[in-house]
A and B are shown apart, each in its own frame.
Chain A
Amino acid sequence: MNRTGLEELIEHRAIIVCCGSGGVGKTTTAAVLGLEAARRGRKAVVVTIDPARRLADALGLQGLPDVPTRIEGPWPGELWATMLDTKSTFDALVVKYAPDPDQAERILANRFYRNISSALSGTQEYMAMEKLYELHEETDFDLVVVDTPPTRHALDFLDAPRRLSQFLEHRLFRMLTAPGRGVVRAVNVVAQTFLRTVSKVVGGEVVEDAMAFFQAFEGMEEGFHQRARRVRELLAAPETAFVLVASPQRDTVEEARFFADRLREAGITVDGLVVNRVHPAFGGGSAEAAAERATTLAGTGLGALYANLADFRAVAGREVAHLAGLAEAVAPAPVAWVPFLRSDVHDLDGMAEVAAHIVGDRDRSADADLGDAG
């Protein structure tokens, strides 16, 4: 048995953030890490963003998605799951930082505010991190595993809290809501002219909604600011682990490398790499040699078998080449290879199968010949 080293994260960390581009199996990986923690006696909660429906069903997420739901199973620990609800997470923050219920009420009812959760880019990322912080600080879970939204902009989830608090302090509206005298007053006139022109383009109601929101939000920025800073500190803390999830296609590998580089620049280390959907290598021999035999034996049954073997060796060679640089870029982080499975993962059995590969009960080298395929 060849351990991948990802166990250390599952057994000892308090937070695992799964990141990577869309379609690489982040949600499944997050769910599997939570399951493994529960199997090791820990109390784990998995926060998912937008799970495929059958996985959501397996995780029991069809009921009350915003509240952690316990998934019963034959493990000594506890496995809980919840689905991120951007709007209600944001609502809770507003209620927390509003000085009085009236102000909270005014904000929650504002049309501009209601648009923030659905339309302002980065809000979902911010709320995912906020949820993580809340679960870590305010509940007794040993491990919080969070899935990040699929984004092309690698570090939105690190950046989002800062960007959103900046947005909420928008200069333009600062000027408009500031009690104006002298120079401030003059600036205010310029801003008013500007807003009038904006109104011409998009209509006055839109601007009024925005103004009303920023006025209602007045005085709450500092609370949001501090919270954002604490979230950022928690993400950089040693009890937090980042697991990069990838698949072996060239473009997703490139995105993953870009991601790893950006994380490093931000002072965050990648603590683990999970590569999903890897083709088996079938002995790892030369594709050219197999192709040559296929040509020599063309038209025979054996020729067909060699042609097929050549195909898969070519793919395996390509995947190894694509991934070598990535594994190096995140070294010494442990790497887990999850091969193509017979079907998509949408139940606990499927999750257990992936888990075996992630912790290395059956790692790629043991499986490389794929004697047990098919």
Chain B
Amino acid sequence: MAGKGGVGKTTVSAALARAAALCGLSTLVVEVEGKSGLPGMFGQSELGYDEVVLSPGGGPDGAADVRARTLTADQALLEYLQDHGLSRISRRLVSSGALDVVATAAPGIKDILLLGKVKQLERSGAADLIVLDAPAAGHAITFLQSARTLLDTVRVGPIQAQARDVLELLEDHSRCQVFLVTLAEETPVNEAIETAYALEDRVGIGLGPIFVNGVYPEVDDLASAHGTGAEALAEAAGVALRPGEAELLDAAAAFRLDRVALQQKQLERLAEHLPLPQIRLPFLFTPDIGPAEVDVLARAVLERIDGLVELPT
């Protein structure tokens, strides 16, 4: 999952993971940037390097578990060195801060260690679906491009082999795809378009549908009610309004209709520049995003995915 800061990437990751779990797919969410709101959305506290179950499966839907964990480059390196018979130096390499030096000498090495670990999780069948909450915005491109960058710098050794494996994973569209997340607003739409082309051109990665978060749901008859006006409607219905109430009702309706129109324009612009299916998720007016709201969004994801599939007649 990739998208610029503030677009709700983590919320969408949570919704997608839960949607997959509702289809019976065991799902693992991987965080690579430390602290996020993800565990809170499932009513849990902080994540660590060890897996936790965010949302247990079972129930009437026959859902699978949603699990989650974090990855850090330091820990991935330790594991990697240990797996390659280099445990003797591994602790020193990490504790001396030498990883920073090595990471500067060979840019992308930290990213490769993280992606390499993800690849290992995928290969070992850790879950049916792995949802990687990628670094925000432009960093996502650098992150996913790291395999290529590294192959330019490092020409021998196990890290180079790792980079090759990661590149193979990224380029295999049946194993790995990027889902972009954006908002129906001008700047996020621009950045999503730029990121999409950069990812395709520079990384050669496959793009899945684009998730548009926070789309205002429609209120039935709002436009026509706004056209008539609160005062006239109240009069016709014989309902008494408090002083000033009609103005507030009209102002709120105008605000909604205005924002819906602006969003619509951006959705059309997005479709025009980016020929990807859009999965639009509703703006939630509820106070917080908890397990119930994640479920609402997960079901919206499934509904939109159903809409994307053309069934043979």
In the bound complex, do residue B4 and residue A23 qualify as a contact, i.e. CB atoms below 8 Å apart?
yes
Which A residues are CB-close (under 8 A) to B247?
369, 371
Cα(A340)–Cα(B286), bound, Å: 18
Kindly supply a per-residue 1/0 record for chain B positions 147-171, scoring 1 wherever the CB is within 8 Å of any chain A CB and 0 otherwise: 0000001111111100000000000
In the bound complex, do residue A201 and residue B221 qualify as a contact, i.e. CB atoms below 8 Å apart?
no
Q: By CB atoms of chain B within 10 A, which of A112, A118, A311, A369 has the most?
A: A311
Given contacts A251-B37, A369-B247, contact A22 B233 (CB under 8 A): no
Partner of A312, one of B96, B187, B256: B256
Partner of A23, one of B5, B157, B244, B245: B5
Interface segment among B119-127, B223-231, B269-277, B302-310: the answer is: B223-231
Which A360-374 residues have a C-beta within 8 angstroms of B? 369-371, 373-374
Is B45 interfacial (CB-CB < 8 Å)? Answer: no
Nearest-neighbour CB distance to chain A for B120, whole angstroms, equals 17
CB closest residue in chain A, given B88:
A197
Kindly supply a per-residue 1/0 record for chain B positions 97-141, scoring 1 wherever the CB is within 8 Å of any chain A CB and 0 otherwise: 110111111111100000000000000000000000000111000
Is A171 interfacial (CB-CB < 8 Å)? Answer: yes
Which A residues are CB-close (under 8 A) to B234?
302
- Residues of A at the B interface (CB closer than 8 Å) are 21-24, 50, 52-54, 112, 115-116, 118-120, 150, 152-153, 167, 170-173, 194, 197-198, 200-207, 209-210, 247, 249-252, 254, 280, 282-283, 285, 297, 300-302, 304-309, 311-312, 314-315, 317-318, 321, 340, 342-344, 346, 369-371, 373-374
In the bound complex, do residue A150 and residue B137 qualify as a contact, i.e. CB atoms below 8 Å apart?
yes
Which B residues are CB-close (under 8 A) to A173?
101
Cα(A97)–Cα(B157), bound, Å: 37
Which A residues are CB-close (under 8 A) to B222?
304-305, 307-308
Partner of B191, one of A52, A194, A249, A318: A52
Partner of A250, one of B5, B98, B187, B289: B289
In the bound complex, do residue A203 and residue B251 qualify as a contact, i.e. CB atoms below 8 Å apart?
no
Nearest-neighbour CB distance to chain A for B242, whole angstroms, equals 9
Which B residues are CB-close (under 8 A) to A204?
156
- Residues of B at the A interface (CB closer than 8 Å) are 4-8, 10, 33-37, 81, 86, 88-89, 92-93, 96-98, 100-109, 136-138, 153-160, 185-188, 190-191, 219-222, 224-226, 228, 230, 233-234, 237, 239, 244-245, 247-259, 262, 285-289
Nearest-neighbour CB distance to chain B for A262, whole angstroms, equals 12
Partner of B252, one of A249, A312, A344: A312
Cα(A210)–Cα(B154), bound, Å: 13
Given contacts A309-B252, A321-B287, A370-B255, contact A250 B37 (CB under 8 A): yes
Nearest-neighbour CB distance to chain A for B35, whole angstroms, equals 7
| 17 A–B pairs (Cβ distance < 8 Å), ordered by A | A21-B6, A52-B187, A112-B104, A115-B106, A201-B86, A201-B157, A203-B155, A210-B105, A301-B225, A302-B233, A302-B239, A304-B225, A307-B222, A309-B252, A314-B287, A373-B251, A373-B254
Nearest-neighbour CB distance to chain A for B191, whole angstroms, equals 7
Cα(A373)–Cα(B252), bound, Å: 8
4 smallest CB-CB distances across A and B, nearest first, come from A23-B6, A22-B5, A374-B254, A23-B5
Nearest-neighbour CB distance to chain A for B197, whole angstroms, equals 14
Nearest-neighbour CB distance to chain B for A281, whole angstroms, equals 10
Partner of A203, one of B97, B160, B191: B160
Which A residues are CB-close (under 8 A) to B262?
342-343
In the bound complex, do residue B186 and residue A206 qualify as a contact, i.e. CB atoms below 8 Å apart?
no
Given contacts A119-B104, A150-B137, A321-B287, contact A170 B97 (CB under 8 A): yes
In the bound complex, do residue B104 and residue A115 qualify as a contact, i.e. CB atoms below 8 Å apart?
yes
Given contacts A247-B6, A280-B255, contact A206 B239 (CB under 8 A): no
CB closest residue in chain A, given B5:
A22
Cα(A153)–Cα(B33), bound, Å: 9
Which A residues are CB-close (under 8 A) to B157?
200-203
Given contacts A300-B233, A305-B222, contact A50 B33 (CB under 8 A): no
CB closest residue in chain B, given A51:
B187
CB closest residue in chain A, given B289:
A250
In the bound complex, do residue A206 and residue B92 qualify as a contact, i.e. CB atoms below 8 Å apart?
no
Known: A120-B100, A311-B256. 4 other contacts (CB 8 A): A21-B6, A167-B100, A198-B93, A285-B248
Nearest-neighbour CB distance to chain B for A50, whole angstroms, equals 7
Given contacts A194-B92, A202-B109, contact A301 B221 (CB under 8 A): yes
In the bound complex, do residue A22 and residue B104 qualify as a contact, i.e. CB atoms below 8 Å apart?
no
In the bound complex, do residue A194 and residue B288 qualify as a contact, i.e. CB atoms below 8 Å apart?
no
CB closest residue in chain B, given A300:
B237
Given contacts A152-B34, A252-B6, A369-B247, contact A201 B287 (CB under 8 A): no
